[in-house]
Amino acid sequence: MAELDVKQLLSGTCLSSISPLSPLDSSEKFSGSHILSIIQFSRHDLDELLLVAGKMKLIVESVGMCDIARGSVMAVLFYESSTRTSSSFQVAMQRLGGQVLAINDISNSSVSKGETLEDTVKCLECYTNVIVLRHPELGAALRASKSLSTACLINAGDGVGEHPTQALLDLYTIQAELPAGRGLEGATITMLGDLKHGRTVHSLAKLLANYKNVKINYVSPEQLKMPKEIVEFVAEKSQGTIQQSEYSTLEKILQETDILYVTRIQRERFSQEIDYLAVANSYIITPQLLSQYGARSTLRILHPLPRVNEISPQLDSDPRAAYFRQMRYGLYVRMALLSWVLGKKLPENLGGTSNLNKGNYDTPQLASH
Ligand code: ASP
Ligand code: CP
C-alpha cells in the first residue's frame, strides 16, 4: 500500500480548504474532555478530526482494527432508541482495541427502580473510561457530566437539544461527497423537515457557522421552523458571512442546492398525536420531485436516519443518495473522536502496511466505496 495519503482517504473532499495546522493540538484539547455540544469544536479542531477520521478509514479498510484503546472501556447508556449511534460507537471502540459495556435497554437496569441519571452514570464511571449517553431530556448530557470525576461523557443526543457526533459525521460526509475541488465554503446546504425538534440539524447548523460563505436554506412547515436562537447563533458566529433563508417548499431552491439534508418529523416530541398528524408526510423526496425541481447531478442527499416516509426507497440506488454512505463514515469519525477523548494517538509514522501488519489484527473483508 502506498504511503498514507489522507487526501485520497477523503476521496473527493476539499482538503485544499483545510487551514494550516496551528500549534494547538486538538487531540490534546479533547483528551479527557466531555463532548456535550458541537460548539466546543473550532474550525481547526474540525479540520484535524477529519484528517484523523481519514486515517481511521484506512485502518478499517486495510487491517480492520488497531489497538490504541487497549485497556480502555466505553459504556453506551441509551434512554432512547438507537440503531446507528449505539452500534457505531460500540464498533468504533472495538476497532480501536477497547472494550464495550452496553446498556441499550434501561428498563432492565436499576433506572426502573428509580435510580437517577446522576447515580447511574456515577455507577458506570466505576467501570469505564467513557460513557456515551442518549437521553430524552434537553441538557441531560451536561447534567450527567457534572456528577463525573474520572470518566468522560459523550452526548449522543439530548432530547431536542444536540447530537454533536452526528454533526461531525455529517461534516465528513459533506466533505467527502462534494465534487472534487469543491469546498464547503461556497456550498448551499438545504435542511428539510422537522427543524424545530431535530437535534441533528441544531448541531449541524452550529457547526456550519465555522465556515464562511456557506448558504443555508431552512425548509419546514411553519410550526417546525429552526429555533430563532440557533439562527441567531449562526449569524453571530459566522459574522454574517453565512446567508440563512427560510422556506416552506423546496420548489425554488432545490436547483441551487449542493447538499439536501432531509430529516424525519420527530413524532416522539409532539405532546398530541393530532399535531404530529397535521405535519406528517409534509415532504417526500422522490426521483420525480428531483427532476421536476431541476436538482443537480452533483446533488447529495443526506439523512441522519431513521427515515419514515420522507425519502422514497426508489432513490436509494441513485448516486445522489448519500445517506447509507453517511452511516459508514460515522464509524471513522467516532473512532477518531474516541481516540482523542481517551488521549490515544495513532502512531506518527502511520503509513504503508508494514506498521499496520505488525500486530495480530483481525482483517475483515470490508467493502470500500
Ligand atoms: N437518529 C437521529 C436522532 O436520534 C435522527 C432521528 O431520530 O430522526 O436524533
Ligand atoms: N442518526 C442516529 O442517531 O441514528 P440512531 O437514532 O439510529 O442512533
* DSSP per-residue string spanning 122-164: HHHHTT-SEEEEEESSTTHHHHHHTT-SSSEEEEEEETTS--H
Residues 6+ apart with CB under 8 A from 292: none
Q: Tell me what pLDDT residue 363 has.
A: 25
- DSSP per-residue letters across 179-229: PTT--STT-EEEEES-TTT-HHHHHHHHHHTTSTT-EEEEE--GGGPPPHH
> pTM for the whole thing?
0.90
Expressed in angstroms and rounded, the spacing between residue 201 Cα and the centre of ligand 1 is 10
Ligand 1 centroid–CA 306 distance in Å is 7
336 CA distance to ligand 2 middle (Å)? 18
Atom number, ligand 2, closest to the C-alpha of residue 327? 1
**CA 104 – ligand 1 centroid, Å:** 15
Q: Which ligand is nearest to the CA of 264?
A: 1
Digit-by-digit pLDDT tens for the chain (369 residues) are 333 333 343 333 323 333 444 446 999 999 999 999 999 999 999 999 999 999 999 999 999 999 999 999 999 999 999 999 999 999 999 999 999 999 999 999 999 999 999 999 999 999 999 999 999 999 999 999 999 999 999 999 999 999 999 999 999 999 999 998 888 999 999 999 999 999 999 999 999 999 999 999 999 999 999 999 999 999 999 999 999 999 999 999 999 999 999 999 999 999 999 999 999 999 999 999 999 999 999 999 999 999 999 999 999 999 999 999 999 999 999 999 999 999 999 988 765 443 333 332 222 222 233
Nearest atom in ligand 1 to the alpha carbon of residue 85 is 1
In order of 71, 144, 166, 244, 268, the CA distances from 219 in angstroms are 46, 33, 20, 11, 20
Query: Which of the ligands is closest to the CA of residue 83?
Result: 2
Pocket of ligand 1 (CB under 6 A): 157, 163, 199-200, 264, 266, 304
Ligand 2 centroid to Cα of residue 250, in Å, is: 25
CA distances, 361 to each of 62, 63, 64, 171, 348 (Å): 10, 6, 7, 29, 19
Ligand 2, residues 84, 327, 329: which to mutate, most atoms within 8 A of Cβ? 84
Residue whose CB lies within 8 A of the most ligand 1 atoms, among 81, 199, 224, 311, for a mutation test: 199
Name the residue with the closest Cα to ligand 2, atom 6: 82
For ligand 2, atom 1, name the residue with the nearest CA.
Answer: 304
DSSP 329-353: HHHHHHHHHHHHHTT-PPPTT--HH
Q: Are the CB atoms for 285 and 261 separated by under 8 Å?
A: no
Distance from residue 25's CA to the centre of ligand 1 (Å): 31
Return the closest-CA partner of residue 124 out of 107, 102, 156, 142. Answer: 102
Cell match 434501561: residue? 106
Instruction: From 305, 308, 334, give the residue whose CB has the most ligand 2 atoms within 8 Å, as the site to mutate.
Output: 305
- Cell matching residue 323: 445517506
Tell me 311's DSSP state: B
